Chain A
């Protein structure tokens, strides 16, 4: 009945009774190959189109390649010079700080908290209200980036919607984009991306069996305690993964900030992607720009390691 050629259940071949037979290793390799075959199209696409360019551009950060000028055709290997220059650039530490602030405030605190809050509240809300609000929130996410960026710009602009509304209450709003640029772009990014977190957490909360929370309530736990001690640990894995995904997405936000403030005033809202744009685009310094992008990657990796360690999503 059980023949050798059917796909074995998860657990692999380590426990196969034929472990030590001659030719077993070869058979196992062949089986492993056959099982991995479906991965081929994806791996092929990734290897050809992504792997090569990624490696090539990581290498590029060690050169002085540029789009124009003499170093466009005579590219020289400069080792870690780009990184050294980067660390001694006075704009760099500020850019790192702003990036981290942007990340923590808009992704970690903003999108995740608002998303989680919304999905919790929606559980006990009226169906119509829930549907309408969900659609509105998702619309902000679905709008193409350049459109959303302009809408946000027009909102925070001196004569824009926000100040007009404040004016109705007699409050003279400041020029948000000039006086509080980070505040404006953080709010705009929360507006843009909350939908994703909201949807993830709605699904996660739905999978929490109500019996456990009810039992806790019967035992006298308050709403907040129930949430903190029962619900959150149960959706821990989703929190961790969502944090990671929103972090990675937020780290590369560029157009939103660029359209709203251009990185200004001065460098007050120049996060790392904007710094990379300035170097790679405006000045055509590809090598330098790529070095900045690599640093961005490292920041993302660091945060992710932190999430995984802190939330231990593997252990359930």
Chain B
């Protein structure tokens, strides 16, 4: 038995040692480009797009092959799988579909390469507005990802329900108060209807943080993060005001009950049940929502464009540009372990030229980032609301997605939940948030000055 223990130990040690050194010697000898991306559910557009680009690229580059690696998984799992792949040279992709949300932390981890030297020579880069360029930027200011498309957020509203409540349609709120007044009016007219939805609470996680809270905060004088000093903002009035708005909606019966809102799957319920059944008058949601109601969506609703209107989210008192939005979106990034950076860049360039970007954005209901695509008639005509949502790109904001961002975002949802359930006042919740994030990033990384 002892001998066996000895052998077992030897084998295990060998295994440990081997696992330490990542084998190296992958199949990519410089003539194969590995492209990893996401594919699931009815999101097959990226797959179609990549297949088309693969053909174009191989035709234009004799001797080069493209190996497509679609990863069938939902978001969190996709990020995990990609991170695992990136850790070993044998499996690391040359080009990957990278969420803007992950760019900064992946750059820090050394998974992706800066693209500045290629971008400087690329004429098409002119077509990308300044704030969109930021989306693919790392903490060091270098560009790590080229945006493929994005999304913006605004208020979807039921034209009939608002008209019945005495509001003028098309509806164009100019301040937060306008929204609250409209919600009151709807409730007066019909107490059964849910006047206004804004995602909130821990259960909705990033949805609450981005579609809910940051849509509000970005319309105030304050910001979440001071990008000059690279510090997180605490104690801002804008933060408290935003929490107050949430309180007004949830504690004032102007929205769903906290119970309904905290259900994990409420997003599906809202877009496939409440809205088509005229039970919800207004909803702060994203540009992709109409995708649910198309023929190819999960709940086809042919009359959606007649029933629904869209209005931009106003800033707090109508200051500044008067409107605000938040954007996420995906980019194409270059793997740090690539053996042929030039070839990888050629692929990216091909995938994101005007025609390919146009095809992809239309197919995937993405909001165009490139100005030339956004003004192209084929794009505008593909979905009645696209022109509107594209217009918002110039006033949109991106999240400060540093590697601490997800924990900070989590604290935002905790604060939101505390006020929507009435457990804390906005001031108390804001203080708790300040303490929490100081604990996460340290005293040196917080400031009271907004950008």
Contact = CB atoms under 8 A, between A and B. Distances in A.
> Is there a contact between chains A and B in the complex with CB atoms less than 8 Å apart?
yes
Interface of A: 29, 32-33, 36, 39-40, 43-44, 47-48, 51-53, 55-56, 66-70, 72-73, 153, 157-158, 175, 177-179, 259, 261-262, 264-267, 281-284
Given A52-B16, A264-B264, A67 B11 contact: no
Given A68-B83, A72-B110, A175-B263, 9 more contacts: A72-B109, A153-B265, A179-B259, A259-B264, A261-B264, A262-B203, A265-B203, A265-B262, A284-B83
Contacts of A265: 201-203, 262, 417
A36 B8 CA distance: 13
Nearest to A261: B264
B105 A283 contact: no
Interface string B400-437: 00010011001000100100000000000000000000
B79 interface: yes
A85 to B, nearest CB: 10
A47 B3 contact: no
Interface in B253-270: 259-260, 262-265
B113 to A, nearest CB: 14
A266 B202 contact: yes
Contacts of B262: 178, 264-265
Nearest to B87: A72
Contact of A48 (B3, B11, B108, B417): B11
Nearest to B17: A52
Contacts of B87: 72
A66 B3 CA distance: 38
A259 B263 CA distance: 11
Interface string B72-108: 0000100110011001000000000000001001101
Contacts of B12: 47-48, 51-52, 55
Interface in B234-287: 259-260, 262-265
B203 A69 contact: no
B8 A67 contact: no
B42 interface: no
B109 A70 contact: yes
B4 A68 contact: no
B1 interface: yes
A55 B11 contact: no
B321 interface: no
Residue of A66, A67, A262, A264 with most chain B CB atoms under a 10 A cut-off: A67
B111 interface: yes
Interface string B1-15: 101100010011001
Contact of B106 (A48, A68, A153): A68
A36 B1 contact: yes
B168 interface: no
Contacts of B79: 67-68, 284
B19 interface: yes
A158 B406 contact: no
B111 A72 contact: yes
B403 A70 contact: yes
A49 B191 CA distance: 61
Contact of A32 (B1, B19, B76, B414): B1
Given A52-B19, A265-B202, A72 B83 contact: yes
Interface centre among A66, A178, A281 (most CB of B within 10 A): A178
Interface in B23-64: none
A47 B410 CA distance: 39
A257 to B, nearest CB: 11
Could you say which of B79, B84, B260, B262 has the most chain A C-beta atoms within 10 Å of its C-beta? B262
A287 B162 CA distance: 52
Nearest to B76: A281
A79 B12 CA distance: 23
16 contacts: A29-B3, A36-B1, A47-B8, A48-B12, A52-B19, A67-B84, A69-B108, A69-B109, A70-B108, A72-B83, A72-B108, A72-B109, A175-B259, A178-B262, A265-B417, A282-B410
